[in-house]
């Protein structure tokens, strides 16, 4: 599949399509037109057709989309059709909260280990996994062929940890530390930064603007 | 200040400027050129000038930007120059993790209450606040003039809770429930959806694509 030039905007929307199609499956809907999907998702039908055409279409004139088929095709594009061994590095509140999200596992993100730097946490059990110390990371990553590391450590520790992770073969970092890690990883490692405080600031900006308008 | 037509993309970038300027202040940097800021942030200098011109510029030819001044001006634009009383509704792992982020408070987001539907959690203390039951919400919101509600409840409970919150005066919802709440709130309420699993899927997509390229 030729998808090298798919824009970031389309990729940003794909998981949302996947979520809505999953809801349709739960509701027992077998097929849907781009117009109906458009009404549900509050994006234009032409946007939907255009987005899905990037991946070869999937729709049939006069029939619309087969919901299960489209859902499974988007799953393949997103890499959800196979299992990704994942670890969490940083077993504080946020790390433990993410460990307890069982939904990720249903999508193929299999949590195989939780790590921290704090000896007090050693051996504490989170969802059946005992928290391990970070000096066990190199061996563990190789043994379990860890692909994804979720980084829920303070910024000060994130950078050195990234080196340990990527040196030992981790290929993807889901970063919650308050810094842009994509500027400091090897070029073959992918990073997704989640900056929660920036999200809260955008909310505050919109609240502020709304109040000025009133 | 006339900022009604500021694009979503600029607003998305503003918190990032704010973060980098905060780091510069910590590093003792007093002024910076758009070129230096560009090198740090890995965006073009012309992008920076263009973004900041939306708000009246702030830069001086031959001097660059005064870091503290620009930081405080962006704070005002983002509404961080005043206190926003905030509650968390949903005191599970994620709700408790967010309650323990003291950084939000430094930016003016003052956590005044934590609520849940589960009686087992009643009275449990999180960062000095006792978890309350949601039937206390209407009175509490009015008494504390709550502006922002962080919603860390399952999707099934999120919708009815949104009605209680907005009926009683909450003006902004920071939504972690797995649904797009902006489609179902009154028009004067602002919503910021944080879909963690969509973020993880984007990482997976990029990982998948990278592997195909190799």
Q: Decide if B18 and A201 are in contact by the 8 Å CB cutoff.
A: yes
Residue pairs between chains A and B whose CB atoms are closer than 8 Å: 179
* Structure tokens, A58: 């999937």
What three-state secondary structure class fits B190? strand
The dihedral through the CA atoms of B148, B74, B71, A191 has a sign that is positive
Q: Decide if B197 and A94 are in contact by the 8 Å CB cutoff.
A: no
Angle at B164 between CA B161 and CA B166, to 5 degrees: 105
* Structure tokens, A23: 């809801």
Q: Decide if B97 and A101 are in contact by the 8 Å CB cutoff.
A: no
- Within 8 A of B15 by CB-CB distance, chain A residues are 195, 197-198, 201-202
Task: Give B54→chain A minimum CA distance, Å.
Answer: 14
The answer to whether residues A150 and A176 touch, using CB atoms and an 8 Å cutoff, is yes
- The whole-number average pLDDT for the span A65-74 is 90
Which of A54-68, A95-109, B133-147 bottoms out in mean pLDDT, i.e. has the lowest? A54-68
Q: Decide if A80 and B201 are in contact by the 8 Å CB cutoff.
A: yes
- With cut-offs at 50, 70 and 90, classify the pLDDT of residue B42: confident
* Structure tokens, B98: 């967010």
Cβ neighbours of residue B167 under 8 Å, at least 6 residues apart? B138
- The residues facing B190 across adjacent strands are B172
- The residues facing B172 across adjacent strands are B148, B190
pLDDT one-digit tens code per residue, A85-99:
999 999 998 999 999
Indicate whether A60 pLDDT > 70.
no
Which of B80, B100, B173 comes nearest A204 by C-beta?
B80
Indicate whether B8 pLDDT > 50.
yes
Indicate whether A181 pLDDT > 90.
no
- Within 8 A of A205 by CB-CB distance, chain B residues are 11, 14, 77-79
Which of A93, A192, A206 comes nearest B97 by C-beta?
A93
Is B88 or B66 the better-scoring residue by pLDDT? B88
The pLDDT mean for chain A works out to 89
Is A180 or A113 the better-scoring residue by pLDDT? A113
Helix ranges restricted to H, A27-136: 34-41, 45-53, 67-77, 93-99, 102-106
Task: Classify burial at B91, counting beta carbons within 10 Å of its beta carbon; exposed 0-12, middle 13-18, buried 19 or more.
Answer: buried
The ipTM estimated for the assembled molecules is 0.91
What three-state secondary structure class fits B146? coil
- The whole-number average pLDDT for the span A2-27 is 82
- Write the DSSP symbol of residue B173: E
- The whole-number average pLDDT for the span B25-51 is 89
* pTM (predicted TM-score): 0.89
Q: Decide if A202 and B15 are in contact by the 8 Å CB cutoff.
A: yes
Task: Give A29→chain B minimum CA distance, Å.
Answer: 18
Nearest to A161 by CA among A130, A138, A193: A138
What three-state secondary structure class fits B128? coil
Interface test with A, best of B11, B84, B203 (most A CBs within 10 A): B203
* Sheet with A109-116, edge to edge strand ranges: A132-133, A109-116, A84-89, A148-151, A172-175, A190-193
- With cut-offs at 50, 70 and 90, classify the pLDDT of residue B191: very high
Task: Classify burial at B193, counting beta carbons within 10 Å of its beta carbon; exposed 0-12, middle 13-18, buried 19 or more.
Answer: buried
- Within 8 A of A16 by CB-CB distance, chain B residues are 180, 195, 198
Indicate whether B1 pLDDT > 50.
no
Query: What structural domains does chain A harbor?
Result: 8-77 (1.10.10.10), 84-198 (3.40.50.720)
Provide the pLDDT for residue A59: 66
Provide the pLDDT for residue B2: 43
* Residue in the block written with tokens 């849907």: A32
**Distance separating alpha carbons of residues B33 and B131, to the nearest angstrom:** 48
Provide the pLDDT for residue A56: 65
Nearest to A93 by CA among B109, B175, B200, B98: B98
- Within 8 A of A207 by CB-CB distance, chain B residues are 79, 84, 147-148, 171-172, 190
Beta strands in A118-158 (DSSP E): 125-126, 129-130, 132-133, 148-151
* Structure tokens, B148: 């922002």
pLDDT > 70: percent of chain A: 93
- With cut-offs at 50, 70 and 90, classify the pLDDT of residue A213: confident
- Within 8 A of B109 by CB-CB distance, chain A residues are 200, 204
pLDDT one-digit tens code per residue, B97-154:
999 988 899 899 999 999 999 999 999 999 999 999 999 999 999 999 999 999 999 8
Indicate whether B85 pLDDT > 70.
yes
- Within 8 A of A2 by CB-CB distance, chain B residues are none
Q: Decide if A208 and B78 are in contact by the 8 Å CB cutoff.
A: yes
Nearest to A197 by CA among B58, B138, B60, B150: B150
**Distance separating alpha carbons of residues B68 and B21, to the nearest angstrom:** 8
The count of residues in chain A is 214
The answer to whether residues A95 and A115 touch, using CB atoms and an 8 Å cutoff, is no
Task: Classify burial at A185, counting beta carbons within 10 Å of its beta carbon; exposed 0-12, middle 13-18, buried 19 or more.
Answer: buried
Helix axes A196-213, B8-26, angle to 10 degrees: 120
Nearest to A193 by CA among A166, A170, A174, A171: A174
Neighbours of B176 (CB within 10 A): 22
* Structure tokens, B28: 């003792």
């Amino acid at each position: 599949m030729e998808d090298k030039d798919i824009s970031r905007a389309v990729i940003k929307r794909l998981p949302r399509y996947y979520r809505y199609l999953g809801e349709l499956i739960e509701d027992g809907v077998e097929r849907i037109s781009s117009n109906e999907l458009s009404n549900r998702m509050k994006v234009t039908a032409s946007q939907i057709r255009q987005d899905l055409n990037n991946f070869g279409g999937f729709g049939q004139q006069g029939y619309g989309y087969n919901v299960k088929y489209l859902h499974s095709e988007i799953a393949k594009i997103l890499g959800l059709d196979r299992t990704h061994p994942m670890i969490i590095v940083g077993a504080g509140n946020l790390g433990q909260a993410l460990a307890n999200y069982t939904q990720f596992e249903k999508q193929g993100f299999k949590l195989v280990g939780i790590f921290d730097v704090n000896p007090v946490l050693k051996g504490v059990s989170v969802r059946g996994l005992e928290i391990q110390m970070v000096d066990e990371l190199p061996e563990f990553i190789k043994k379990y062929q860890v692909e994804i590391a979720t980084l829920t450590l303070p910024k000060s520790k994130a950078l050195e940890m990234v080196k340990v992770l990527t040196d030992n073969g981790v290929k993807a970092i889901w970063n919650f530390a308050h810094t842009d890690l994509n500027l400091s990883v090897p070029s073959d490692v992918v990073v997704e930064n989640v900056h929660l405080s920036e999200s809260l600031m955008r909310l505050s900006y919109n609240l502020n603007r709304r109040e000025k308008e009133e």
